[in-house]
Amino acid sequence: MADPVPSIELFAHADCEDLDLNWLTAKAREAFLHCLESAGSEEAFLSGLEGIEISVVSDETIAEVHGRFMDDPTPTDVITFHHGEILVSVDTARQEGPRHGNDVQIEMLLYIIHGLLHLNGHTDLVEPDCELMHNCQERILAEVTAN
């Protein structure tokens, strides 16, 4: 029987000395199935992807991509492309994690889950969609970090 989870690869394009990339990849695989069960209101791409590429980048890099594709040249936590590419900022995770009671590792996993939910049709641009997405990502984070 084929594995229901597509290939998920994590690439470090920034300083990741304080991250366990193998753990993050394994948890992303676990989170995939939970995200797949939680459909959003927009078009979903997650179930049709053969692979997901997660790039860990700096604030400088994510700000450049944010400006190029979304006309907003400021850093952000995560950017998701429909073809299965997710960029997550380790700098933002280091800054924001403690504010949310998370270490950098957990905050990065939260961003990955957020990206996977975007790929399954979730949006955080308007309410009540934003609240629904936030609740889903928190529930999934709790489920995949419980073991």
In a domain, 123, yes or no: yes
In a domain, 1, yes or no: no
Q: Which two tokens stand for residue 110?
A: 């939260």
3-class secondary structure, 106: helix
Residue where the block lists tokens 């957990």: 106
Report the mean per-residue pLDDT for the chain.
94
In a domain, 2, yes or no: no
- Conformation bin of residue 53: beta by default, left when phi > 0, alpha when psi is -120 to 50: beta
pLDDT tens digit sequence for 30-58: 999 999 999 999 999 999 999 999 999 99
Rounded Cα–Cα distance for residues 138 and 57 (Å): 23
In a domain, 63, yes or no: yes
Domain containing 86 — which CATH number? 3.40.390.30
The confidence score (pLDDT) of residue 48 equals 92
pTM of the model: 0.95
CB-based contacts of 103: which residues, under 8 Å, 6+ apart?
Answer: 97
pLDDT tens digit sequence for 7-22: 999 999 999 999 999 9
Q: Say how many domains are in the chain.
A: 1
Asked if 61 contacts 92 with a C-beta cutoff of 8 angstroms, the reply is: no
In a domain, 70, yes or no: yes
The confidence score (pLDDT) of residue 127 equals 85
Range of the domain at 23: 7-145
Please write down the HEC assignment for all residues of 25-81. Answer: HHHHHHHHHHHHCCCCCCCCCHHHCCEEEEEEECHHHHHHHHHHHHCCCCCCCEEEE
C-alpha angle with apex 22: 30 to 76, nearest 5 degrees? 80
